[in-house]
Amino acid sequence: MENNFNENVTEDSTVLPVEEIAETPAPEIVEIPVVEIAVEPRTLPVEDPAPVVVEAPKAPEQALGFLRSGAIGSMAADGPKPSDAINVDNSDKVAVHSTKNVSWPEVGRVYRGFNIVTKAAADKWLSRDHIRMATPDELKAVLEK
| Domain containing residue 135: CATH number | 3.40.5
70 in a domain, yes or no? Answer: no
State the Cα–Cα distance between residues 115 and 94, nearest whole angstrom: 8
pLDDT tens figures, 5-24 = 555 555 555 666 666 666 66
pLDDT at 84 over 60: no
Whether 18 maps to a domain, the answer reads no
In a domain, 69, yes or no: no
Note whether residue 82 is domain-resident.
no
Parent domain of 124: 91-144
**Count: domains in the chain:** 1
CA angle 129, 132, 133 (to 5 degrees): 160
Instruction: Give a yes or no: residue 111 inside a domain.
Output: yes
Dump pLDDT digits (tens) for 97-126.
999 999 999 899 999 999 999 999 999 999
**139 in a structural domain:** yes
* Residues paired with residue 94 on neighbouring β-strands, in sequence order: 117
Query: Residue 9's pLDDT is what?
Result: 55
Non-local (6+) Cβ contacts of 111 within 8 A are 98, 101
